[in-house]
Amino acid sequence: MFEKILIANRGEIALRIHRACREMGIKTVAVHSSADADAMHVRLADESVCIGPPSSTDSYLNIPSIIAAAEITNADAIHPGYGFLSENAKFVDIVTAHGIKFIGPSADHIRLMGDKITAKETMRKLGVPCVPGSAGEVMTLAEAAQSAAEIGYPVIIKASAGGGGRGMKVAATADDLSEAFSSARSESKLAVGNDAVYMEEYLSTPRHIEIQILADGQGNVVHLGERDCSLQRRHQKVLEESPSPAMTDQLRTRIGKTVADAIRDMNYDGVGTIEFLFENDEFYFIEMNTRLQVEHPVTEMVTGIDLVQAQINVAAGYPLTLRQEDIKFSGHAIECRVTAEDAVTFAASPGPVTEFHVPGGLGVRVDSALYTGYNIPPYYDSLIAKLIVHSNSREECLLRLNRALEEFVVSGIKTTLPLHQEIVHNAEFRAGSYNIHWLEKYLAER
Ligand code: MV4
Question: Ligand 1 atom closest to Cα of 208?
Answer: 21
Please give the share of the chain, as a percent, with pLDDT higher than 70: 100
- Give the pLDDT confidence score for residue 165 in this predicted structure: 81
Q: What is the best residue among 117, 201, 203, 288 to mutate for testing ligand 1's pocket, by most ligand atoms within 8 Å of CB? A: 203
pLDDT band with cut points at 50, 70 and 90 for residue 433: very high
Listed in sequence order, the residues at least 6 apart from 445 whose beta carbon sits closer than 8 Å to its beta carbon are: none
Of 429, 434, 364, 436, whose CA–CA distance to 395 is shortest?
429
Q: Which domains does the chain have, with CATH numbers?
A: 4-103 (3.40.50.20), 132-201 (3.30.1490.20), 207-445 (3.30.470.20)
Distance between CA 131 and CA 136 in Å, rounded? 12
pLDDT band with cut points at 50, 70 and 90 for residue 192: confident
Out of 83-92, 180-189, 203-212, 302-311, which region has the weakest mean confidence (pLDDT)? 180-189
Distance between CA 373 and CA 199 in Å, rounded? 50
Mean pLDDT in the chain?
97
For ligand 1, atom 5, name the residue with the nearest CA: 202
DSSP 335-373: EEEEESB-TTT--B--EE--EEE---STTEEEEE---TT
The rounded Å distance from CA 165 to ligand 1 centre is 7
First and final C-alpha spacing in the chain: 52
- Give the pLDDT confidence score for residue 326 in this predicted structure: 97
Q: What is the best residue among 116, 276, 277 to mutate for testing ligand 1's pocket, by most ligand atoms within 8 Å of CB? A: 277
- Give the pLDDT confidence score for residue 281 in this predicted structure: 98
Please give the share of the chain, as a percent, with pLDDT higher than 90: 98
CB-count burial class (<10 Å; 0-12, 13-18, 19+) for 260:
buried
Q: Average of pLDDT values for 124-132?
A: 98
- Give the pLDDT confidence score for residue 198 in this predicted structure: 97
Of 284, 288, 281, whose CA–CA distance to 131 is shortest?
284
12-33 pLDDT, tens digit per residue, is 999 999 999 999 999 999 999 9
288-304 pLDDT, tens digit per residue, is 999 999 999 999 999 99
Listed in sequence order, the residues at least 6 apart from 186 whose beta carbon sits closer than 8 Å to its beta carbon are: 195
Residue 431 has pLDDT above 80, yes or no: yes
Distance between CA 299 and CA 279 in Å, rounded? 22
Q: What is the best residue among 168, 434, 443 to mutate for testing ligand 1's pocket, by most ligand atoms within 8 Å of CB? A: 168
Which residues participate in catalysis according to the annotation? 291
Max intra-chain CA distance, the chain: 62
312-321 pLDDT, tens digit per residue, is 999 999 999 9
Q: Average of pLDDT values for 223-251?
A: 98
Q: Average of pLDDT values for 200-226?
A: 98
Residue 375 has pLDDT above 90, yes or no: yes
Lining residues, ligand 1, CB within 6 Å: 131, 156, 165, 168, 200-203, 208, 232, 235, 277, 286-287, 436
For ligand 1, atom 13, name the residue with the nearest CA: 286
pLDDT band with cut points at 50, 70 and 90 for residue 63: very high
- Give the pLDDT confidence score for residue 422 in this predicted structure: 98
Distance between CA 446 and CA 441 in Å, rounded? 9
Residue 163 has pLDDT above 80, yes or no: no
